[in-house]
Each structure stands twice: as C-alpha cells, then as structure tokens.
Structure 1
Amino acid sequence: MLKAFSRAARAFGAAAIALAALSAPAAAYPDRPITLIVPFAPGGSTDLVARIVAAKMTELLKQTVVVENRGGAGGSLGATAVAKAAPDGYTILMATVATHALNPALYKKLQYDPVKDFAPITLLVNVPNVLTANPKFPAKSVKELIELAKKEPAKYAYASSGNGSPLHLSGELFKKMAGVDLVHIPYKGSGPALVDVLAGQVPLQVDNLPSSIEHIKGGRLVALGVTTAQRVPNLPDVPAIAETLPGYETYSWNALFAPAGTPPEIVKALHDAGVEALKDETVKKKLTDATAVIVGSTPEELGEFTKKEIEKWTPIVKDSGAQID
C-alpha cells in the first residue's frame, strides 16, 4: 500500500512538473548572443556596415550581436552556413547582391536557394561602387584610363573582391562598354585587394565606396569615377562613370536574412531592431559618411526586391561569360 502510494505520488509529481513546463512562458528572444555572419573578409564595405548596425542592435536587443567573418566562394560559404543553420534567430546573414543575385547565376552547384532557403528581415542600405587608382597611376580620369588602355591593351590590371563578385562584374561591364582590355585580379575580399592597390601592387580597383572613401579623401587613392548613374553627395567632385560612358550603372546593397522557417515573431524582433538602428543619429551619420544610402525595408519588400535583383543580374552574369563550378 505504501509502495503504491509512493508510486502514485511520484507520478503526480512528474505530471505536475510537466504541466508547469508546458504552461511556463517561453524564454524571451533573444536570451543569448546572436551571430551575424558577414560572408566576406574583414575590411570591406559589407563588414563596415555590419559592424555599425550590429553595435546598435546589441543595445536594442540587449544581447550581443557578434559579427563573424566567414569569407570564401564569393560569399556563398557564409550564406550556405546561414541557410543550413537552426531557424531560431541566433544565426543571421549580412547578405549582398553577390550572395542573393549573382551567385545563383555564377555557381553551377550552389548549396542554397536565395529565395527558398532564407527569411527576409530588412534591406539596410544601398552602396555605390567606385573605380579607383593608385596615385602613381598615370590616368587621373575615366577618359584618360580608356585612352591609356586602348594604347596598351592588357597591360593594366584592376583588383576586385573576387571572381563573379559585383565589383568584378562592374569592371567587366566597364571593359565592355569602354572597349578596353584590362586584366582582372581577384582577391578574397575587398580588404586584401585594397591593401595591394594602396601599396601599388595593382594599379586599379573597383571597390564599394564605403571602404575606399577615407583613402580617397586622404589622397591615398584617386577616384576616377563612381558607378552610380549620378554623383554621390559625399564626393561631389568625383564624376559618375556614366558621364563618360552613358548608361553605365552598378551598385551593391546590404540586407539581413535569417534561415527559412525562422518564426515570424523572431523575424519581427530582428526587423524592428535593424530598422530602429538605422534611425539612430550616430548610425545614420556613420553610414552616410561612408556614402551608404539608408533604406530600412519591410521583410516583404526585401523579398520582392531580391526576386527583382535576380531577374536583373542573371542576364548580365551570362553576358559576362563568368561561370564557377
């Protein structure tokens, strides 16, 4: 009888504990640090934007947003890692035009689908690109570069953040429209490419403007032209390449994505923190000083934007002939 009572008591206790666990509220998100994967090397514009935004999101979410650089394969290694991560909001991606619009057309065996494998959070910024030269390079304008390159085909090289990157394709589009032959030298990220251009190892670079602007202002680089259709306010004296090559236009962007299947309430929390971070005056100043154009979209708007970017860039990639196994 006593044993039966003891068994019943234990069973009752276990049931009570289980009921209490079911009725207890779930831990508030986030209750531990969040990893923001930047799929490129440190020092580039994507890394710059990520660190500015992550610092403010850390304050707003009251949990550390840790920036982790995981470069390689044009951003696809980092993007794949997020696509395969647990959809719990603790691993998110700083995506770019490369990860979500170019790589699907470039890579024959891409391990993620840019639409199906991600939950859009928010489009943070659009980013102009710029064609720069080491100060010792003889050409000081787009016109002079074209003239020089036509006189000596394949003599001069330009650096980019990697094969098939938006910066590489910006350079290839320039070559095609200008009718010149420049040698492309790919790097594993904008940062390493920038180091060699500053050192004079490579004369030219197509870069995201945020990571080059201070070097331009400091005279360590010469800006031949920005890749947007119009001049940018931060560098009003630098012409748009389109002023010499009408119709030329390229740019990059940065957006936050979570793995597909992330609960809507977590996506909302990340979205709200990201958009609120963009409203902070210090964040706004840092981003605009770096020439990034602040957006702050809804998840739905980012989803539609991604599809349009894929439609836009796929034929450009095919026309360039770039293909990566």
Structure 2
Amino acid sequence: MAKNWEDSMKYLTLFNKLFFTATVCLSLITGMAAADDYPTKPVEMIIGFKPGGFSDAMARKLSEPLTEALGQTIVHTYKGGAGGSIAATAVAGQPADGYTLVVATSLTFAFNPLQGKVTYTKDDFDYLLTMARFETAFVSLASKPWTDFPSMIEYAKSTGKPLRYGTLGPADRTQMEAVAAATGVTFIPLPIKGGANMMQSILGDHVDFGISGGPHIQYVKSGEMIVLAASGSDPLNSTPDTPTMTSLGFPAVSYNSVIAAPKGLPDDVKAKLEAALIKSAIDPRFQDLVQQRFVGITPMGTEETSASIDTISDEMKAILAAKGN
C-alpha cells in the first residue's frame, strides 16, 4: 500500500511538472502570437493640447497614414494643459501594451519633471518618434532700436531700461532668467496664452519682444517683425541665417513634437510602432503640412528621440543651475 502511495506521488509530481511546462510554453506562444497580431484593436492617441491647435493638426494628419500602416483606427483623446503634463501623467499609468500613445513636446518629458510638479520622470516612457521641431524664436517689431538679440542686450545695457517680454510658459521664463543672470539685464515677463495672442501683444507694442513657435513667420515676411534669435541650438527653417542661442553663448531651449508610450513596451510591439510612425511621418500627407509651417525635420525614431530627450534634460538642468536654482 505504501508503494502504491509512493508511485501515485511520483506520477502526480511528474504530471505537475509537465502541466507547468505546457502552461509556460502556451503562454509564450500566446504572447508571441499576440505581439505578431498587434494591434488587434484601435490605438488611443492622447494629445496633450487643446483641439484645433497645430499639435492637434499634426497628430490628425499623421494618423491618416498611421491607420493604414497599423490596420487599426487611431482614436484621439484630448488632455490639454500644463505643457502636456496632464496627458503625460495619464499615459504613464497605462499598460505598456502599445494601445496608448501620448503626443506632447520634448519639454513635457525633459523639463517639466525638473520643476517637481509632476509625478512622472523622463524615464517613465518609451520614446517612439520626434516628428517636428517648432520654429521657436525670440521676435520683436522691426521698428525697435535693435536688429538682433545681441544688439537688444547692448541697448538694454546702454540705456539701463528693463525689457518687457511675452512668455508662453516656464521654460522660456527660465531661459530668460539665465540670460539675465549672465548679462545683468532686467527682463520683465508678461504671461501670454497662445501664439495668436503673442502676435497681437508684439504688434500692439505691449511687449518689447516675445517667444513664438511659428506664427511670427508671416509677419517677418511682411516686414513687420524681425527674428532676434532661435531659442534652441538648431538653425530655424524659415530664417536659417538667424543666430541660435547656443551660437550666441546663451542657454538653449529646444521645442520638439514627440510621441511616446508607457515604459516597458514589448520589443516587437515597440519595433512595429516605431516603423509605422516613421513611415507615417515621411508620408507626403504629413510632410506637406509640416513643410508649409516650416517645422519639418527628418523624423527621429526611438534611439534618436531618447537621446534627444536626455540631451534636452541635461540642457535644462544647466539652465536651472545658471539662474541659481
């Protein structure tokens, strides 16, 4: 009887091992099949800005070829506010399965966490695509007594007058605080919501200069405004001869349009998403839009975008240090 009991236990142990092995194999096969079949349902694209803006326009235009590349509908959800942080916070907490994406700016990931007002870090995301670089520049009326950023600084120094500037958010304010620390010039920030309001503030001479992501181009062409400097380290597409803040020896702030997903995407899902997004970003339908607005770049995939976010984060840390934070 004891022998029968021992034999039964041996068979039971063997059965459990075989069952466990089969379960693991089945799970692996199922997981592989799921990844191969991805996506099997619509993909949600959460846009970190309000409907109707240029970021919305880019996301929608990109979604046309992306729908074809993935074979699934792209559903748009809007969570505007806080420079994209509301959307990024919502996406960071989602499953890393490739069905939730966020459209925001490089500063959403590289700068906002440095201010200590968000619950995520730049390392909480898988970066998939940089699809555009905004034509972000400092601009002023052409009738002002300066012709570029250095001559504006010299004017302020020689007259002792403070300069009023239109600011769109904490990043450009932080940048100008660092410039103030380096030059001794006093800058008075006037918060302004939106590019259209910024243009009206500059045209109405309510500010001496302002930060613009692109709406200024038409006024530069008409001769009403001049571009003082590119806010970042890369030359502008519309006025390539304009000096960059980096070339002038001042801190640079770059504004790129980025698509990311929650950290931890399966490698094959990430690769499929990256390939589909890059294919969509070079599609003529998308390129026509971004080239018309002078924000077109060679799209950057996962590796380049991740490196770019790290670089911008380091630059913003240096700016914060330069202004004494």
Q: What is the TM-score of this pair, normalised by structure 1? A: 0.73
CA contact (8 A) 1:89 1:266 kept: yes
Match of 2:138 in 1: 131
* Residue correspondence of structure 1 range 98-137 to structure 2 within 5 A: 98-107=107-116, 109-115=117-123, 117-134=124-141, 137=144
* Residue correspondence of structure 1 range 196-275 to structure 2 within 5 A: 196-198=201-203, 200-208=205-213, 210-219=214-223, 221-229=225-233, 231-236=235-240, 238-240=242-244, 245-246=248-249, 249-275=252-278
Q: Which amino acid aligns with 1:272?
A: A
Q: Which amino acid aligns with 2:220?
A: I
Mapped pair 1:153 → 2:157: no
* Residue correspondence of structure 1 range 7-156 to structure 2 within 5 A: 28-41=37-50, 46-47=55-56, 49-107=58-116, 109-115=117-123, 117-134=124-141, 137=144, 139-150=146-157, 151-154=159-162, 156=163
Displacement of 1:201 in angstroms is 4.3
Q: Distance in 2 between matches of 1:30 and 1:199?
A: 51
CA contact (8 A) 2:136 2:230 kept: yes
Question: 1:302 is paired with a residue of what secondary structure?
Answer: helix
Alpha-carbon distance change, 220 to 32 in structure 1, aligned in 2, over 3 angstroms: farther
After superposition, the C-alpha distances for 1:64-107 in whole angstroms (9 at most, x for unaligned) are: 43444423333322210111223333321123231121122212
Q: Which amino acid aligns with 2:216?
A: S
Q: Distance in 2 between matches of 1:101 and 1:307?
A: 7
Once the two structures are overlaid, the 10-residue window that deviates more, 181-190 or 253-262, is 181-190
* Residue correspondence of structure 1 range 284-299 to structure 2 within 5 A: 284-292=287-295, 294-299=297-302
Q: Which amino acid aligns with 1:74?
A: G
CA contact (8 A) 1:37 1:68 kept: yes
Match of 1:302 in 2: 305
Match of 1:6 in 2: none
Unaligned runs of 5+ in 2: 1-25
Alpha-carbon distance change, 288 to 202 in structure 1, aligned in 2, over 3 angstroms: same
Displacement of 1:127 in angstroms is 3.8
User: Share of identical aligned residues, percent?
Assistant: 27
Displacement of 1:231 in angstroms is 4.4
Q: Which amino acid aligns with 2:231?
A: T
Q: Which amino acid aligns with 2:137?
A: V
Displacement of 1:258 in angstroms is 0.5
Question: 1:205 is paired with a residue of what secondary structure?
Answer: strand
Match of 2:173 in 1: 168
Alpha-carbon distance change, 221 to 92 in structure 1, aligned in 2, over 3 angstroms: farther
Unaligned runs of 5+ in 1: 1-18
Q: Which amino acid aligns with 1:180?
A: V
Alpha-carbon distance change, 101 to 137 in structure 1, aligned in 2, over 3 angstroms: same
Alpha-carbon distance change, 242 to 86 in structure 1, aligned in 2, over 3 angstroms: closer
Displacement of 1:111 in angstroms is 0.8
Alignment equivalent of 1:281, drawn from 281, 284, 304: 284
After superposition, the C-alpha distances for 1:137-181 in whole angstroms (9 at most, x for unaligned) are: 554432443244332533x32222212x2x333433443444321
Q: What is the TM-score of this pair, normalised by structure 2? A: 0.73
Q: Which amino acid aligns with 1:130?
A: A
Match of 2:17 in 1: none
Q: Which amino acid aligns with 1:251?
A: S
Q: Distance in 2 between matches of 1:71 and 1:295?
A: 27
Q: Distance in 1 between matches of 2:313 and 2:178?
A: 17
After superposition, the C-alpha distances for 1:204-262 in whole angstroms (9 at most, x for unaligned) are: 21123x4433343344543222234564343246454567x345644222221111233
Question: 1:297 is paired with a residue of what secondary structure?
Answer: coil
Q: Which amino acid aligns with 1:162?
A: G
After superposition, the C-alpha distances for 1:289-308 in whole angstroms (9 at most, x for unaligned) are: 43335243342443344334
Q: Whose radius of gyration is greater, 1 or 2?
A: 2
